[in-house]
């Protein structure tokens, strides 16, 4: 674990980091998925570093977003290693943790999101059938 | 009662917890930079122990601490420990204390889809620890975390990962776990002790219908510590562990004598009591124990020594009136700052609390003489074991300070006999003085004998004494009486008495003890 990384980042404080779109790993850059039309869904995904598990969670979520939500979603990825305060504020215990922030009510699911149907159920999105993009 | 110490002393550095008494049994404190499991049943004071570890780190050593709470809301913890004088909110504001709040949320843990780990928890703990420069980290309690996360294999791996990360950063970790049974498995799933270097057990058990809290250091990997259960109590300053060490064995004893307060008794003792000796005075009710106590205090007053009396049987007023009748002025002694009388009701508190309170008064008043009247009052409310522990600990405390002690013990029968008290503590005291009634030709007489006096010659004869307005007057030895101590005494050489001393003694087997 990157134990040394946490300390330097912590100094940045909550104000700067919150709401900011964070990169995953070194080369990935911003990971807000631009919505093709008006976003209906806002997600925040907490991951711990650029691990295979983190990458899988992001990939699984993207696939779900495209295939089941018609791409109409925003995603903010929070790396708890570089933004531990973000994890603290959101009281996240496990990684990866996906938070559906809107539409309300907020719902959570933890794991690398391997099963899209289960994720939809866990987030209370069963009734949403945006299978095809417009 | 000697402290058993590992001989294979490693080079493990210890961190003083600052919890009174704990560092004594831990022989310095918890192993530094290691992980210690503190396990106990519900209500065994695990959370208080954790909080005390952090609080003492801050207040005594200026060391920052992180409290990871899986169970209680931080607000509850702040409030609950406020009574111990720990202002957690102020320490948080000062950047000395940080909570990582993992207490259960109303909606419950999120559903699981796929693989996950506790990376977020580790990141939060490290973040908090870096922020307050924590040398101490507590996680309370694992059992609550286990309720949230069911995957045991994952917990084992992650707990190990978190422990390693904290250890690498040089932090000393305490994590708690709830046990089902005070004398069963250390933990429910056996995961925590796999991860921990050290195991400390807290117990809260019922013994003879009395609650008894103990702490036991089960193991310190590669570091010395005392073994066995040691009582502790929770005071208004947190946890106080009461190490029951037989310190008198290593005490250097003095040859300095002090007056007992009764000149004839000094003569019987070959020049008075020893400066640092503990004297037990045994006698039936009315034989003059309280008088001897009073004269002992007066003896201190006359030599300008501060005296402290713990009175468990009679009120201050009653004691002062008694003293007045023997020409001793308690009020004046108190005015001069040479006497303090502490009235206590033995029923009010458990043994540990009595010890802590009495020890506190001794430390504060710094007496040269301490009297307890009577120990029997304590014996009645403690379990036998607690009573013995009390006497051991209290006497070693006095001896360490070089304070003279005089304790009284009430025998249950008027004539002869010993008491349970004596049976269990006679080896712990340096001297024993017996006060006994003797019936002679229809008249009740009093007798006194110095039964034992460690390290000194003493008068071995049984002497008659009388009490008047000036106190105790010890007279001639009884020469014609035998068997007083057994309660069945005979006048040797009187008409019709053919019994020898020996046969009298044999006939006295049911005499009282």
Find, among B286, B281, B272, B269, the residue nearest to B446 by Cα: B286
Question: Contact at 8 Å (CB) between B328 and B295?
Answer: yes
* β-strand partners of B324: none
pLDDT single digits (tens) A26-48: 333 345 545 455 668 999 999 99
Find, among B13, B125, B135, the residue nearest to B62 by Cα: B135
Residues 52-81 of A with CB under 8 A from B: 53, 56-57, 60, 80-81
* Number of neighbouring beta carbons within 10 Å of residue B428: 18
Q: For position B493, what pLDDT does the model report?
A: 57
3-state helix, strand, coil in chain B (%, to 5): 35, 25, 40
Pairing label, strands B369-373, B404-410: parallel
pLDDT single digits (tens) A96-105: 999 999 898 9
Q: What is the DSSP string of B163-195?
A: HHHHHHTT-EEEEEEE-S-TTS-SSSSS-HHHH
Find, among B369, B404, B399, B394, the residue nearest to B298 by Cα: B369
Quote the distance between the C-alpha of residue B179 and its chain's center.
26
Q: Tell me which residue in B115, B121, B128 faces A93 most closely, judged by beta carbons.
A: B121
B413: left (phi over 0), alpha (psi -120 to 50) or beta: beta
Cis peptide before A96 (omega within 30 of 0): yes
Q: For position A12, what pLDDT does the model report?
A: 31
Question: Contact at 8 Å (CB) between B483 and B501?
Answer: yes
Closest residue in B to A48 (Cα) is B119
Return the structure tokens found at B509: 């087997």
- Catalytically annotated residues of B: 71, 313
Phi, psi of B234, deg, nearest 5? -110, 115
Give the residue from B69, B107, B113 with the most A CB atoms within 10 Å of its CB, the best one to mutate: B113
Domains of chain B: 14-244 (3.40.50.300), 248-431 (3.40.50.300)
Domains of chain A: 3-11+31-122 (3.40.30.10)
Return the structure tokens found at B322: 């008694």
B68: left (phi over 0), alpha (psi -120 to 50) or beta: beta
Q: For position B1, what pLDDT does the model report?
A: 38
- In angstroms, rounded to a whole number, what is the distance separating the alpha carbons of residues B451 and B453? 7
Whether the pTM exceeds 0.90: the reply is: no
Q: For position A113, what pLDDT does the model report?
A: 96
- In angstroms, rounded to a whole number, what is the distance separating the alpha carbons of residues B437 and B421? 19
- A85 in contact with B at a CB cutoff of 8 Å? yes
Question: In a structure prediction context, what are the per-residue pLDDT tens digits for chain B, which is 513 residues long?
Answer: 333 444 444 568 999 999 988 998 999 999 999 999 999 999 999 999 999 999 999 999 999 999 999 999 999 999 999 999 999 999 999 999 999 999 988 888 899 999 999 999 999 999 999 999 999 999 999 998 988 888 889 999 999 999 999 999 999 999 999 999 988 888 888 888 889 999 999 999 888 777 889 999 999 988 888 888 898 999 889 999 988 764 544 556 678 899 999 999 999 999 999 988 999 999 988 899 999 999 999 999 999 999 999 999 889 999 999 999 999 999 999 999 999 999 988 776 788 888 888 999 999 999 999 999 988 888 888 888 888 888 888 988 898 888 999 999 988 777 666 665 666 677 778 899 999 888 877 888 899 999 888 888 888 888 999 999 889 999 988 877 777 666 677 776 554 444 443 333 333 333 333
Return the structure tokens found at B129: 């620890």
Q: Do A91 and B105 touch (CB under 8 A)?
A: yes
pLDDT of A22 above 50: no
Chain B residues with beta carbon closer than 8 angstroms to that of A88 = 100, 124, 127-128
- A93 in contact with B at a CB cutoff of 8 Å? yes
**Four-residue CA torsion sign, B308, B310, B311, B315:** positive
Phi, psi of B310, deg, nearest 5? -95, 110
Helix (H/G/I), strand (E/B), else coil: B56: helix
């Amino acid at each position: 674990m990157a134990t040394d990384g946490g300390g330097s980042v912590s100094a940045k404080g909550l104000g700067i980091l919150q709401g900011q779109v964070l990169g995953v790993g070194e080369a990935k850059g911003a990971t807000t998925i631009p919505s093709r039309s008006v976003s209906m869904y806002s997600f925040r995904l907490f991951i711990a570093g650029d691990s295979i598990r983190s990458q899988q969670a992001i990939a699984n979520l993207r696939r779900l977003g495209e295939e089941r939500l018609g791409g109409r979603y925003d995603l903010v990825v929070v790396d708890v290693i570089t933004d531990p305060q973000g994890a603290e504020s959101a009281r996240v215990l496990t990684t990866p943790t996906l938070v559906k922030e809107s539409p309300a009510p907020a719902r959570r699911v933890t794991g690398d999101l391997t099963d899209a149907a289960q994720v939809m159920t866990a987030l209370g999105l069963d009734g949403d059938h945006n299978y095809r993009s417009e | 009662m000697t402290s058993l110490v590992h001989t294979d002393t490693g080079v493990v550095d210890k961190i003083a917890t600052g919890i009174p008494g704990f560092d004594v049994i831990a022989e310095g404190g918890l192993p530094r930079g290691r992980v210690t499991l503190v396990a106990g049943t519900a209500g065994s004071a695990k959370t208080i122990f954790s909080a005390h570890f952090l609080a003492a780190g801050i207040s005594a050593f200026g060391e920052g601490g992180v409290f990871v709470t899986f169970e209680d809301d931080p607000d509850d913890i702040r409030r609950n420990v406020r009574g111990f004088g720990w202002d957690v909110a102020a320490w948080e504001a000062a950047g000395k204390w940080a909570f990582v709040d993992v207490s259960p949320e109303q909606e419950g843990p999120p559903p699981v889809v796929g693989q996950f780990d506790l990376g977020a928890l580790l990141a939060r703990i490290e973040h908090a620890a870096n922020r307050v420069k924590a040398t101490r980290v507590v996680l309370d309690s694992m059992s609550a975390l286990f309720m949230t996360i069911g995957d045991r294999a994952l917990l084992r791996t992650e707990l190990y990962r978190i422990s390693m990360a904290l250890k690498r950063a040089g932090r000393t970790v305490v994590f708690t776990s709830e046990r089902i049974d005070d004398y069963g498995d250390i933990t429910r799933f056996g995961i925590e002790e796999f991860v921990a270097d050290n195991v400390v057990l807290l117990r809260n058990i019922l013994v003879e219908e009395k609650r008894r809290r103990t702490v036991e250091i089960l193991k310190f990997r590669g570091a010395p510590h005392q073994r066995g259960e040691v009582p502790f109590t929770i005071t208004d300053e947190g946890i106080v562990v009461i190490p029951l060490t037989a310190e008198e064995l290593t005490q250097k004893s003095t040859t300095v004598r002090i007056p007992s307060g009764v000149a004839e008794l000094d003569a019987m003792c070959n020049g008075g009591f020893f400066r640092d000796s503990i004297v037990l005075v045994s006698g039936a009710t009315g034989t003059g124990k309280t008088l001897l106590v009073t004269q002992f205090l007066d003896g201190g007053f006359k030599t300008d020594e501060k005296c402290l009396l713990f009175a468990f049987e009679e009120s201050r007023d009653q004691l002062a009136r008694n003293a007045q009748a023997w020409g001793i002025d308690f009020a004046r002694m108190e005015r001069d700052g040479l006497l303090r009388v502490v009235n206590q009701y033995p029923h009010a508190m458990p043994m540990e609390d009595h010890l802590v309170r009495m020890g506190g008064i001794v430390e504060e008043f710094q007496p040269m003489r301490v009297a307890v009247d009577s120990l029997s009052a304590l014996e009645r409310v403690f379990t036998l074991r607690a009573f013995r522990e009390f006497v051991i600990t209290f006497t070693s405390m006095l001896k360490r300070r070089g304070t003279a002690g005089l304790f009284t013990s009430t025998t249950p029968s008027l004539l002869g006999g010993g008491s349970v008290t004596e049976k269990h503590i006679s080896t712990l005291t340096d001297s024993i003085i017996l006060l006994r009634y003797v019936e002679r030709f229809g008249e009740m007489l009093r007798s006194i004998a110095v039964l034992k006096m460690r390290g000194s010659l003493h008068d071995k004869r049984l002497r008659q004494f009388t009490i008047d307005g000036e106190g105790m007057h010890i007279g001639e030895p009884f020469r014609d009486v035998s068997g007083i101590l057994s309660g069945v005494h005979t006048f040797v050489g009187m008409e019709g008495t053919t019994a020898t001393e020996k046969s009298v003694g044999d006939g006295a087997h049911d005499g009282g003890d």
